[in-house]
Amino acid sequence: MKNIRTIAAFALMLGIVVGSAHGQTGTPTIKVNVPFRFTIGGTTLSSGQYSMTSLSDRVLVQEASGRNVALLVTGTLEAKAKERNSRVVFDCYFDECFLSQVWFASQETGHTLPQSKHQVELAKTSEAKQLVLSSKESR
């Protein structure tokens, strides 16, 4: 009986892994080199090469080394016809930058990330300067 449970659990895990990998093929992904530290939510990430993948209403952000990973629930932004290129947008206050938008050229809408409490506090005292990094999209 224990062997049957072990086999069933293994089969279920294998199905989840294979289904997850299959579901991610063809999803829009952009790679961008971020030359400064930045914050997502309450977590500050180091500068470096990052890939960002669109997963429906979420964005997966992963450093090339695999050291930093974040999965974020996002809102949507409508693209203007002339703004259909892949890019990431940071809102910067003084010397702190926050990832605020991710755009994939193959999608008609962009992803907007929620602001952290700290970012909201900084926004009360200073206007954000937007920094845009362009990227190439891959699938």
pLDDT of 82 reads: 58
CA-nearest of 105, 82, 101 to 29 is 105
CA atoms within 13 A on the CB side of 32: 24
Query: Is pLDDT of 17 > 70?
Result: no
- Is 3 domain-assigned? no
Residue 126 lies inside a defined structural domain of this protein: yes
Asked whether the predicted pLDDT for residue 2 surpasses 50, the reply is no
Binning pLDDT at 50, 70 and 90, where does residue 22 land? very low
Average pLDDT over residues 90-100: 95
User: How high is the mean pLDDT of the chain?
Assistant: 81
Count Cβ atoms below 10 Å from residue 123 Cβ, excluding itself.
14
Identify whether 12 is part of a domain: no
Per-residue pLDDT at 10: 40
Any domain includes 4: no
In a domain, 6, yes or no: no
Residue 19 falls inside a structural domain: no
Q: What percent of the chain is modeled with pLDDT above 90? A: 54
**Those residues with Cβ within 8 angstroms of residue 87's Cβ, 6 or more apart along the chain or in another chain:** 103, 132, 133, 134, 135
Give the count of domains, the chain: 1
Decide: pTM greater than 0.85: no
Structural domain that includes position 120: 27-138
pLDDT at 101: 95
pLDDT one-digit tens code per residue, 47-77:
999 999 999 889 999 999 888 888 888 988 8
The verdict on residue 16 lying in a domain is no
